[in-house]
């Protein structure tokens, strides 16, 4: 089965899919129903997070949503978690899922309904020592803006603002329509390091390992590019994770931890 290169052109189905991921009760209902399908992905994210050991005991969690794929055990390592999301349903769902664990570790949780991406400069200034984690946010920027150029400009701006900070992100890199003819078992993604050449390229530059990973994921036709290829600095180890979002769509997640 041939797999074509990522494309910047979003079709109607993908745009609708992104809208469903942006929050609201529909998103939380979908996530609740999909827990079994997402279980292997959630476990892989938890294993990756277990290896993320920031120096700070204070966390800024950007786009926390309901914490459906977040590790309670990892959150417990922090003295204070400040979570932000635009969705008014996110805070009660997050607390329902993680409060018991956080109370056990005496982790103080504050949750604010806020567009944390727009207010990122103020948040970074207000909490200069905090570790920053973007949770399924950066890959959605292409759906926030009317033009792809505006989305890429904002992603580059975010990357510049974070220079010198310790931060991490789990986000969509690519997504596409699933090829149901391929086996349904979730493949284990490679851990690769961002190369200077790939970081500087205008278009995504795939290594042999990444092309092999593309084939294992099983997408019919072209991948949709979420424009996040240049978000991590060169030298950042990036874990690739498969996310069977629905019976129709496959997502390729990337998780990276940037140390100053």
Looking at residue 22, what is its pLDDT? 55
State if pTM tops 0.75.
yes
Of how many residues is the chain composed? 260
pLDDT tens, 149-198?
999 999 999 999 999 999 999 999 999 998 876 556 778 888 889 877 66
Looking at residue 202, what is its pLDDT? 58
Which three-class secondary structure state does DSSP give residue 135?
A: strand
Looking at residue 5, what is its pLDDT? 45
DSSP string spanning 208-260? HHHHHHHHHH-BSEEEEE-S-TTSSPTT-EEEEEEE--SSSEEEEEEEEEE--
Q: Which residues of the chain carry a pLDDT beneath 70? A: 1-23, 181-184, 197-205
Residues 6 or more apart whose Cβ sits within 8 Å of residue 26: 20
Looking at residue 183, what is its pLDDT? 58
Looking at residue 25, what is its pLDDT? 84
Looking at residue 203, what is its pLDDT? 64
Looking at residue 200, what is its pLDDT? 56
Domain count for the chain, please give it. 1
Any idea what the CATH number is for the domain that residue 136 is in?
3.40.50
* Structural domain boundaries enclosing 39: 3-258
Name the token pair of 145. 């803006």
Residues 75 and 101: beta-carbon distance below 8 Å? yes
């Amino acid at each position: 089965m041939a797999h074509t290169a990522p494309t910047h052109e979003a079709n109607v189905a993908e745009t609708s899919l992104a809208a469903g991921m942006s929050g609201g009760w529909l998103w939380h209902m979908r996530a609740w129903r999909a827990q079994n399908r997402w279980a292997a992905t959630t476990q892989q994210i938890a294993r990756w997070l277990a290896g993320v050991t920031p120096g700070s005991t204070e966390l800024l969690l950007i786009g926390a949503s309901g914490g459906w794929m977040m590790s309670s055990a990892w959150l417990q390592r922090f003295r204070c978690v400040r979570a932000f999301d635009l969705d008014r349903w996110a805070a009660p769902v997050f607390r329902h899922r993680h409060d018991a664990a956080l109370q056990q570790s005496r982790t103080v949780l504050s949750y604010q309904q806020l567009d944390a991406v727009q207010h990122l400069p103020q948040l970074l200034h207000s909490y200069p020592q905090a570790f920053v984690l973007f949770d399924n946010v950066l890959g959605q920027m292409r759906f926030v803006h009317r033009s792809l150029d505006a989305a890429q400009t904002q992603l580059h701006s975010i990357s510049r603002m974070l220079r010198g900070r310790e931060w991490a992100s789990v986000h969509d890199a690519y997504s596409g329509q699933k090829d149901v003819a391929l086996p349904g078992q979730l493949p284990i993604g490679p851990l690769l390091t961002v190369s200077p050449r790939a970081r500087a390229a205008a278009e995504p530059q795939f290594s042999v390992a990444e092309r092999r990973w593309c084939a294992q994921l099983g997408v019919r036709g072209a991948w949709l590019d979420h424009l996040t290829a240049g978000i991590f600095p060169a030298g950042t180890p990036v874990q690739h994770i498969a996310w069977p979002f629905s019976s129709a769509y496959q997502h390729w997640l990337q998780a990276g931890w940037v140390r100053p």
